[in-house]
Structure formats: structure tokens, C-alpha cells
Amino acid sequence: MSDKKEPRIGVYVCHCGGNISGAVQCELVAKALKGLPNVTVTRTDESMCSDAGQSLIEQDIKELGIDRVVIGACAPMLHEQTFRGAVTRAGLNPFLYHHVGLREQDSWVHEHNKDAATEKALRLMSAGIAKARLLEPLDPIRLGAEKHALVIGGGVAGLRAALDIARQGLRVTLLEKSPFLGGRMAQLESVFPTEEDARKLLQDLIQKVVAHPNVTIFTQAEVTGVSGYVGNFEIQVQQHSRGVSDDNADTLMSACRQEVPNPFNYGLTKRKVIYRPYEGCYPSTPAVDWESYNGEPISFDGKQIILKDEPKSFGLNVGAVVVATGFDPYTPSQGEYGFGELPQVVTLPQLIRHLALSKDGKSLQWNGRAVRDVALIHCVGSRQVDGVHQPQEDGQVNNYCSRVCCTASLHATLELHKRYPQLNIYDLHQDIRTYGHGHEEYYRHALESGVRFVRYNGEEVPEVSAAPQGDSHPVLLKVKDMLTYGEELEIPVDLVVLAVGFMPRDLHGLDKMLKISRGNDRFLLEVHPKLRPVETAVNGVILAGTAQGPMNIQESLSAASAAAAKVASLLGRGKVELPPFVAAVDEEKCDGTGACVEACQYEDAIALQEFEENGRKVRRAVITPANCSGCGACVAVCPNNAINVQGWTLEQYEAMVDAIGMDMHELEVAA
């Protein structure tokens, strides 16, 4: 005979101030449920989440010996934690409580059918009670945590995240793959909507990060291996040599003859393979571009020196990882809007660098020729349409909006107008999406400045071709203008600027090492944009900035601060507490088939181990809770039902299904 104590269940039906009781006859539900097995008490209350409502539950636990609690109320997302708190305060394990959503999923969607809403509440609550009978006390997973975070990426998001984490008293190691900090923001001159100097803002941030005693920075450094779990990740890092030192850098740079297209200026200029990307960069010591260096000897002090990269490897032990790896601007394919075929077709990032490089002059020059007419085309590489645009490598088009390019284009347009007022500017767009605070002003100013807006249809994109010989302009644009009911326009221009979108970066296996997922758009995926923003499905791996999708600088900074707050709350106490909803093995049922190990996609979450029992060797699955995501892929494949996700077991679901499927008269009889 089992000595297991029969559960004593307390059932509470909330009126939610009329929100539930307006459709559900709560008293009737409570009365009917009272007769179900193991239900000790049922109560209704105007507002269970109020102090009085919570006290009622606490009192029943203490005075009536209630050891399972079922509450029918608003969505669990809103008050599950509130009631867990109440249950805990009364001395009960917080996981011996089950929440049933009776508002969003019943009373609010069946307002005009009260009998049906009441019957549905009865069935849903019965299902909750059926689950509650099978609940077991659970303990959160508690792990020691290194008070040390790793931030991958030294762009504006990584820098902000590093500084915010450091200010919370945690140690931070910042890794940057390139030799210099700053990322994409360093390539900008001014930022919208404040029109501040981008470089100055960035330098202020870099100075604060560099000066903070809690931050250690490694440039030219990449992650080569990851193991462990939240609170205790072991990270392998490889750092390349800088190649030159402060003592010899400038001499070697002058003597170096090898030049390559300068990626900082998107190939518009050339630079040496020993380089600083811009004046005032950090670190100020030049670095060798090892990918481009051809091994040619360089004269120094009467000798011929061959530069050598001698990478060093080291390990880090960190509690959390912030991925701030940024984005790449979309590179149009050969011939897309004439790109790569017509020298007068450039991208918006190229135009921004071109404007930065040509501060003087009364007219905009391109390829030694004055530009009189310029056209910007929006949505290049964004909002692509199947069958119209060339798919990306994975066979899909970029159907997402890159969000930033509309304001960025208008920002550039106004800069062009300010510097070259005589310039004729055409803006070809699908829609203008100036969604941010102060962004619509750019559109208004552009209209007032005489910029001519043409609206094209995404399925009939503008055509860009070389103008016929002898034309006054080198390029001819053909576009159907939806603002004039499809009028076909021909616009001769000297320069075409493609407002390219954001592309997810090739992370060279970093995402695989960290076991984080990508979404349909190939950007890194957060668990949920509203419920768990910036978190990935891997505990302790947090996202910051444009690695997870198109964002402007303001949004990247907000995301970075959110990531830092998440890290600080995770590691601040030196230990982490995770929900207990992970797989657990029933030792009596497990006979070591290994099906679970095969089904699991999470490294080191589950393994087969050999044990000696009564003189014979047995194999069983063993879970490492910190590495388990709780998805349950192992549950479905176990032939012995020997594995379950704690708090969400198959048996509990079966019991809930039985309660839902039960004939109504069974409940009525019980009542």
C-alpha cells in the first residue's frame, strides 16, 4: 500500500472585478468543483490578486492543510508569480500551484454565451485540478555563478553592455574580432535624430569603457570554444598579434607598400595593410590586416622585416555571455539596380563615407564629374518579394523591413541638400517608414527642401540602366510612380544611391558553439520579444543590438542596457536560480535505450551513464539540468515513459485531457 498522502486541494475562482464573473457563473463553478476528489475547499473572490485574496489562500494553506492550489483568474503571464509568492509565504512549495486562465481564454471570448463560458470554466478548472493532484514539489535549479561576464563585439551595443555590466560591480571581458573598437558607428559622421557627432559620442563611450577598472578588453580576439552552462561557461579565445608596436608602428606603416581596398570606406579608397581606420581610433596603435598581408618584407632600420601573426590562446571562466556581434550592410548582387556594372551606382553607406571624405567643394563630385541629379532607392535588400528579387544563399529573399534605412536615407538627403543646395534629389520609396521619435521631421524637411518623392510598387522595382550614348546624364532610371496612379517616369541622373538594408552576420560558428538559434530572417533569435526580450533559449546567453535584427543606434543602446540588466540580475548574487522545468529520469523505468540522448539537440544536457547495481552493470540516462532547455524532445521518444519534464509531465497532460473530455454529468453528479 502506498504511504503517499492524499492531496488536499484548495480551488479559487476569481471574479476579476466582474471581468470573469460577467460571463462565468463563478459561484456555480466553485460549487460544482467542491465535489471533485481531493478538493478540500473552493472559494470565489472579487479579486484573488488583492492582498485580501492572497491572504485567503495563505490562511487556507495554514489552517486547512491545503497542499495543492488551483487558481482560475486572468492570464498566467500576469499573476502566476503573484500567486507563487502567496503560496510560498504560507510555507508551501511554489510549484504545488497551478494557474488556469479564465479571463483571456474564456470570459472575454464568450461574453455573449454565459452558459457555455461557465461550462468551459468548469472543464478548464477540472483539468487544472487533475494536474494539481499529480504535482510534486520542485526546487529551482541553483548554481554557483562567476561574477564575470563576456561581451562579444566591441561595437556600440557591446561597449554599452560592457559599461553597464561593469557599473553593476561585475567583471567584464570584452572581445572584439577586429583590431579596433567602435564597430559600424565609427563609419558614421553624425547620428539622427540628435545630429550629434557620431565619432565623438563613440569616443566618449570608449573612454568610459577603457577607464573602468572592471573591464578587460581584447581586440583581434575570437571565441574558439564554449562549454559549460549559465553561471559557469568555459570560453576558449584566440587572439591574433597586433604585428607592430608603438615603437615601430609609424615607421613600418610608412615603409609598407602593400595597399588594399579600405573596408572602412567600403572600398572607395585604399589603405595599407598596416593601418589605423580613422584618426582617434582605439587602440591608437596600428594593426596588421593579416587576411590581406601578402608576406612582402618591409624595410625597417636597414633590415627587411617579414611580419608574423603569432596567435595566442587562453581560457575564460564567465557566468554569462552577451552576444553583440552586429550586422553587415546588404551588398547588392552583381547588376542589381546596376550595382557593380555602372560606376555611378553606389550604396548608402558608400555615399556616407564619400561625403565624409569630400568635405570641401561646392558641388558633389563622383568619379571626377559634378553630380547634378541624384536618386536614392529605398528597400534595397529589404522587403524583397519572392519571384522578383534574387534569393539569398539559403534560397530565401529578405522579406523583412530593415527599419533604419528610411530615416538614414532622408538624413543623407538633407545632408546633401545642405551642402549642395543646387542638387536635384529624387527619393524612390515603397513607403516612408520614419517610425522613431523625431524621425518624421526628416521627411517633412525633405519635402520642404524640394526633394521629389516617387513611390514605387515592391513588385515592380525601378529599372536602372546606362543612358543612351550622347545623353546629358550617364544613368537612366525608369519607374512607375504610384503617387500619380502608375505614371511611367524616366529620370536621367548622375548618381544612384541604394539604401541597403541590414544583413545578419556570418558568425563563423559562434552561434553553433553557443547553441543559440536563428530566426527565419537569419538574425539571432530571442526567446520572446515581449515575454523574454534579449534572452536566448540558452540560459545565460543574452543578445544585444543588431545581432538580433535591424535597429538604429538608439535601439541598440536600449537593447544593450537591457542585456546588461539581465546579466546583472543573473550574476549579481554570485549564484543563479533557474526554473525547475527540465527533464528528469525515473530511475526505476529507465533501461538505458539511449533514445533520449539521440533526440536531444542540446549538448551535454543528457548522457548515458553506467552504474553498478546489485553486482550488475546498468545503463541509465542522466540529465545535466543546467544544460536542459525543457523542450521535452526526449519525452516523446522514450519507449518506457521513463523521462519527463518536471512540472509538465505526460501523465499530467493525460489527466487534463481526461478532465476536458469527461461527460458533463460526471461533474454535475460530483456537485
Partner 1 sequence: MTQSQQPKILILGTLSGGYAGADSTGQSHLEYPPNTYILPVMSPVMFPPEFYIRSFERGIDGIIVMYSGTDSPYKVEAEGTAKLINSAYALMKERGIDIRRLRLAAICTVCVKPFLKEVNQMNDLLKGIGFVKDELIARASAMEAAHG
Residues making contact with partner 1 (CB under 8 A): 75-77, 101, 103-106, 108-113, 115-117, 119-120, 123-124, 127, 515, 517, 519-520, 525-532, 536-537, 581, 599-602, 629-633, 635-637, 645, 648, 650, 653-654, 656-658, 660-665
Q: How far is the CB of 450 from partner 1 (least distance, A)?
A: 40
C-alpha cell at 423: 542638387
Closest to partner 1 by CB, 388 or 664:
664
Per-residue three-class SS string for 383-403: CCCECCECCCCCCCCCCCCCC
Closest to partner 1 by CB, 206 or 401:
401
Q: How far is the CB of 656 from partner 1 (least distance, A)?
A: 6
591: helix, strand or coil: coil
* 562 within 8 A of 551, measured Cβ to Cβ: no
- Lateral strand order in the sheet of 320-323: 215-218, 171-175, 148-152, 320-323, 541-543
Closest to partner 1 by CB, 18 or 361:
18
Q: How far is the CB of 601 from partner 1 (least distance, A)?
A: 4
Q: What is the largest CA-CA distance in the chain?
A: 103
Q: How far is the CB of 548 from partner 1 (least distance, A)?
A: 12
Q: How far is the CB of 386 from partner 1 (least distance, A)?
A: 16
13: helix, strand or coil: strand
Q: How far is the CB of 15 from partner 1 (least distance, A)?
A: 17
Listed in order, strand segments (DSSP E) in 510-631 are: 541-543, 575-578, 583-585, 606-613, 616-623
Strand partners of residue 578: 141
Other beta carbons within 10 angstroms of residue 326's beta carbon come to 24
Other beta carbons within 10 angstroms of residue 104's beta carbon come to 14
Q: How far is the CB of 227 from partner 1 (least distance, A)?
A: 17
Other beta carbons within 10 angstroms of residue 445's beta carbon come to 16
Strand partners of residue 452: 426
| Mode of pairing for the β-strands spanning 39-45 and 9-14 | parallel
Closest to partner 1 by CB, 104 or 441:
104
Closest to partner 1 by CB, 448 or 663:
663
Q: How far is the CB of 657 from partner 1 (least distance, A)?
A: 5
Closest to partner 1 by CB, 308 or 532:
532
Crossing angle of helices 440-448/405-419, nearest 10°?
40
Closest to partner 1 by CB, 119 or 481:
119
* 528 within 8 A of 77, measured Cβ to Cβ: no
| Mode of pairing for the β-strands spanning 327-329 and 345-347 | unpaired
Other beta carbons within 10 angstroms of residue 512's beta carbon come to 11
Amino acid in position 511: D
Closest to partner 1 by CB, 476 or 631:
631
Between CA 7 and CA 96 the distance in angstroms is 10
Closest to partner 1 by CB, 44 or 649:
649
Between CA 245 and CA 591 the distance in angstroms is 62
Q: How far is the CB of 17 from partner 1 (least distance, A)?
A: 16
Q: How far is the CB of 592 from partner 1 (least distance, A)?
A: 19
Closest to partner 1 by CB, 325 or 539:
539
Q: How far is the CB of 462 from partner 1 (least distance, A)?
A: 32
**Residue 89: is it exposed, middle or buried by C-beta count within 10 angstroms (0-12/13-18/19+)?**
middle
Closest to partner 1 by CB, 595 or 618:
595
Q: How far is the CB of 331 from partner 1 (least distance, A)?
A: 25
Q: Which residues contact 484 (CB under 8 A, 6 or more apart)?
A: none
* 645 within 8 A of 138, measured Cβ to Cβ: no
C-alpha cell at 207: 573612454
C-alpha cell at 82: 503573484
Closest to partner 1 by CB, 78 or 268:
78
